[in-house]
Structure 1
Amino acid sequence: MGPVNKNTFDIGPALHRAILGAGGHDVAISDSMLASNGAASTREAKAFIADARDAGQTPLKASEVEQIHAMPDKAAAKLVALQIDLDPARSEMVAIAQIEGVWCRAMIDNVPLDARLPIYDFKTCENASPEACQKTILNYGYDVQAEHYRQVWQAATGEDRVFRFVFQEKTAPHEVCVIELGAGTLLIAGKKIARAREMWDKCMQANQWPGYPLGVKRVDPANWAIERWPKR
């Protein structure tokens, strides 16, 4: 069975390609193909989407194509102001290395040629304020991603680099925030990823992939939920 595309319009990959300088894979769906409510629910639109995906393209609405054109310009201006140059030739770099006996792989959004410069990963988001970005990093485990990428790149090249995320809002004016992970965050993330490699190695050797523990679990309200209820 082939991959399932849960979102009919996936602008994430198209935005990545545009900002990282590897665009050209998105294709616009004509407004004439859309239903009266703007949905791609017509037979013609569905056929167009299927053909585009079979050709390795990302089908997008015209408004989303405009968005993709607007976001790279905003991101480029912010990165220029920060003296950050994301060379398209150094985008989507793949590193493969063995760490503690475990083979690891990482595809990194951008790695400047100068080994003194950081590794960069691009993320789209709803809110690019520093506070929101910090929560997003912890909620989605981006700290583990960052340290995994850092370690794999170092193991493959010998380069010990800083890691930065470039967050950009999907809605106008498409604000940008560049986040560099500190030593404390990476220290904890390093422990998480070391444990993950250990678990992966054991599962690979035993060919056993356990899920959640068996049993019925009792759940009581957390302290924050108890404290919030009287205030309501």
Structure 2
Amino acid sequence: MSDTQRVGVHGGIPEAVYHADRASLSYSGAKLLLSSPAKFRRAQDHPPKPKREYDLGHLAHKLILGKGADLVVVDAPDWRTKDAREARDQAHELGLVPVLGSELANAEQMRAAVRDHELAGPLFAEGRAEVSMYADDPETAVRLRGRADWLTNGNVIDIGDRLLIVDYKTTTDANPKSWWRAALRFGYHMQFAWYVTLARALRLDDSPIFLHVCQELEPPHLISVNEFGLDEYKLGLEQMREAIDIYVECQQTGTWPGYPPLIHPISYAPWAFRRDFNEPVDID
């Protein structure tokens, strides 16, 4: 096991090295295990190819957190030309993040909005970016890992001397009244439990606070700062435990199954049977 995989808190681990680690289990890997161990194994053997949404996320993280892969600005209005696509692909091969000038300008506006925000601004004013944490699960000895976007102290926003684990998310809708739907869909409650568990195991804080700073990609780049409650933590912890147990079983058996080979009964949610839901829509 390399030094970067040892139990502890590590800064400066390149993102590609962190994600290529097969000797420990991450939150994103746990999500795949809950969906299907076969998907987890496939992702390990065939890392996902770069996607535009990944590039935009990396761009925003680079400007706001100050760390991440280097950027390459491609001199083109869009990605439709052959030259632009070739420049994009070449950047990906070199481990760089290709962006258009218009995308960079938009991300700079997002950074300004974060700095001017009365809550998000102070959160990111002091702290450490892209911090990798490694700890062993006490029940199974599985090496767990997590990469916090930002670690800071609660004093920066006057909530006491507690560790703040801050995760920055770009989104199309940061409205706190509706963002919970995306949080549920992407399993962010398990991320919450995962990172709190790592922080406690490493004795960084017995009661850390986990916050999501969500920012909209489109102007005016609205921001919300969101915190899960105890029920979400318990749900995340249950799913975390299930994913770790699946991981152990698959390693022991050497099998990474897909969906169970049986006839699965399908039941619609009650609202699908409402008359108004099934009535055709008059578009005239």
Helix, strand or coil at the partner of 1:167: strand
Q: Which amino acid aligns with 1:104?
A: L
Q: How far is 1:223 from its partner?
A: 1.5
Report SS of the residue matched to 1:131: coil
Relative CO higher for 1 or 2, CA cutoff 8 Å, sep ≥ 6? 2
Do the aligned residues in 1 keep the contact of 2:58 with 2:69 (CA within 8 Å)?
Answer: no
1:123 and 1:165 in contact (8 A); partners too: yes
Helix, strand or coil at the partner of 1:22: coil
Structure 1, residues 85-142: CA drift from partner, whole Å, max 9, x if none?
4436x10000000012221000110011676132100000111111222111111101
Secondary structure in 1 matching 2:117: helix
Question: Is 2:111 the partner of 1:72?
Answer: yes
Q: How far off its partner does 1:231 sit?
A: 8.5
1:54 and 2:93 aligned: yes
- Pick from 169, 186, 193 the counterpart of residue 123 of structure 1: 169
CA deviation digits over 1:197-220, x for unaligned, max 9? Answer: 111111112212121111233434
* 2:218 is equivalent to residue 202 of structure 1: no
- In the TM superposition, what is the alpha-carbon distance from 1:182 to its structure 2 partner? 1.2
Displacement of 1:80 in angstroms is 4.9
Which residue, 47, 52, 55 being the options, matches 1:7?
Answer: 52
Equivalents in 2 of 1:180, 1:23: separation in Å? 25
Aligned residue for 1:118, secondary structure, equals strand
Please name the residue that 1:187 is paired with. Answer: 234
The residue type equivalent to 2:226 in the other structure is I
Q: Which residue of 1 aligns with 2:62?
A: 17
Q: How do 1:45-194 and structure 2 match up within 5 A?
A: 45-80=84-119, 83-87=122-126, 90-99=128-137, 100=139, 101-112=141-152, 116-160=162-206, 161-194=208-241
Q: TM-score, normalised by structure 2?
A: 0.72
**What is the rounded CA distance, in whole Å, between the counterparts of 1:6 and 1:85 in structure 2?**
27
Aligned length: 225
CA distance in 2 between counterparts of 1:59 and 1:27 reads 5
Q: Separation in 2 of the partners of 1:133 and 1:178?
A: 11
Q: Name the CA distance, whole Å, in 2 between partners of 1:82 and 1:44.
A: 38
**Residues in 1 aligned to 2:187 and 2:47: alpha-carbon distance in whole angstroms:** 27
- Whole-angstrom distance in 2 between the partners of 1:6 and 1:14: 12
Counting only pairs closer than 5 Å after superposition, residues 37-52 of structure 1 correspond to structure 2 as: 38-52=77-91
Residues 132 and 181 from structure 1, CA distance in 2 versus in 1: closer, same or farther, beyond 3 angstroms?
A: same
Match of 2:262 among 215, 220, 230: 215
> SS of 1:74's equivalent?
helix
- The one-letter code of the counterpart of 1:55 is L
TM-score, length-scaled by structure 1? 0.87
**Which residue identity does 2:272 align to in structure 1?**
A
Please report how far the alpha carbon of residue 24 of structure 1 lies from its aligned counterpart in structure 2 after TM superposition.
Answer: 7.4
Q: Deviations over 1:155-176 (max 9, x none)?
A: 1234231111000000000010
Deviation at 1:78, TM superposition (A): 1.3
Structure 1: gaps (5+ residues): 32-37
Q: CA RMSD in A?
A: 2.4
State the Cα deviation string for residues 44-77 of structure 1 (Å, max 9, x = none): 2222112222232211122111111110110122
Distance 1:133 1:78 in 2: 19
